[in-house]
Amino acid sequence: GKTELARALAAFLLDDEARIVRLDMSEYMERHEVSKMIGAPPGYIGYGEGGQLTEKVRRNPYSVVLLDEVEKAHPDVFNMLLQILEDGQLTDAQGRTVSFRNTILIGTSNLGTETLSPDKRPIGFIQSAMPDYQEARQLVMREVKRFFKPEFLNRLDDIIVFHYLEQEDVLQIARMFVDELVERMHSRDIELEVDDAVIEKLARDGFDPVYGARPLRREVEHQVENPLAMKIVNGACPVHSRVRIRLLENTVHIDIIS
């Protein structure tokens, strides 16, 4: 959901979902990998190629910069981010000053999510099955303040703690996944029709407030996409086919109409 929000923000503000610079911060866990963000120094392999962060922003100054799973980065990365958040600029390995004043910097993190399960909740918090939003935010912010240094947190405009997905939210996401599949099939000249009962079953089976929408994605793949792909591979669903996916005795059935 966090990454999808960044894509939607890029599409809304910049009219292009592709105007997003995404860095997986698990690739910067070691100290020697930090230099990849601004480029290799003189005398090292890769000098002159530009940094993975600075070069992309230099070429596309109006971008949404997504630092995915930012808590996994080496502490030296945060020292570099302090300069961006404070001055709005960063100097790359070739001495060029890259401006970040026209970018939106988003860092995503899963810090604190493991403390939301009842058996791992700290003493003093209600041991209910699922905490309400205020309790969840309090638990998450405790972990965030424990992990990140105050000078980093003090430079952030805002910290947003996502709400749990409700059953109705998962149903909407299921419809989006199915609509995406219908479009993909349409590009292969296959007309796909999915009954509402199937979407509701996918939403029920894939609903998990702790793990978000990923279990739903797996249910869509397992119950719909994989069986449909097998029919296409086996030749049972050729080009220009019309396919209906319906629910029969609580089981998803794929019918090739024509």
**pLDDT digit string, tens, across residues 203-220:** 999 988 777 788 999 999
Q: Which two three-digit tokens encode residue 206?
A: 């894939």
Tens-digit pLDDT profile for residues 49-59: 778 899 999 99
Residues 92, 19: one domain? Answer: yes
Q: Does a structural domain hold residue 60?
A: yes
CB 182 within 8 A of CB 194: yes
Same domain, 105 and 189: no
| Co-location of 104 and 16 in the same domain | yes
187 with 93, same domain? no
Domain presence at residue 40: yes
How high is the pLDDT of residue 25? 93
| Residue range 165-207, pLDDT digits in tens | 888 999 999 999 999 999 999 999 999 999 999 999 999 999 8
Domain of residue 16, CATH code: 3.40.50.300
In angstroms, the CA 176 to CA 165 distance is 15
CA 13 to CA 106: how far, in whole Å? 14
Reduced to 3 states (helix: H, G, I; strand: E, B; else coil), residue 255 is: strand
Instruction: Write out the residue range of the structural domain in which residue 81 sits.
Output: 2-109
Domain boundary among 109, 137, 154: 109
Final residue belonging to a domain, choices 109, 137, 156: 109
pLDDT of amino acid 100: 95
Coil, strand or helix at 225: helix
Shared domain for 245 and 177, answered yes or no, is: yes
pLDDT band at 137 (very low <50, low <70, confident <90, very high): confident
Residues 100 and 172 in one domain: no
The answer on pLDDT for 237 being more than 70 is yes
Asked whether residue 102 falls in the same domain as residue 35, the answer is yes
Higher pLDDT, 1 or 60: 60
Decide if 62 is inside a domain: yes
Q: How many domains does the chain have?
A: 2
Q: Which of 223, 216, 226 is nearest to 174 (CA)?
A: 216
Query: What is the side-by-side order of every strand in the sheet holding 20-24?
Result: 20-24, 64-68, 104-107
Same domain assignment for residues 171 and 244: yes
In the predicted structure, residue 71 carries a pLDDT above the cut 70: yes
CATH number, domain of 250, equals 1.10.8.60
Residues 7 and 92 in one domain: yes
Please report whether residue 30 resides in a domain.
yes
**Nearest partner of 181 among 212, 202, 204, judged by Cα:** 202
Q: Which helix (H) or strand (E) holds 63?
A: none
102 and 6 part of one domain: yes
Question: What is the average pLDDT across 219-225?
Answer: 95
Greater confidence (164 vs 236) lies with 236
How many beta carbons lie within 10 A of that of residue 56, not counting itself?
A: 18
Q: What is the pLDDT of residue 70?
A: 93
* pLDDT above 70: residue 82: yes
pLDDT at 31 over 80: yes
Span 95-115, average pLDDT: 89
The closest alpha carbon to 230, from 257, 206, 256, belongs to 256
User: Is 101 a domain residue?
Assistant: yes
Pick the more confident residue, 127 or 222: 222
Q: What is the largest CA-CA distance in the chain?
A: 68
Burial code (b: 16+ CB inside 10 Å, e: under 16) for 123-155 equals eebeeeeebeeeebbebbeebbeeebeeebeee
Q: Tell me, yes or no, if the pTM score tops 0.85.
A: no
- Please tell me whether residues 97 and 7 are part of one structural domain: yes
Alpha carbons 31 and 147: distance in angstroms, whole number: 18
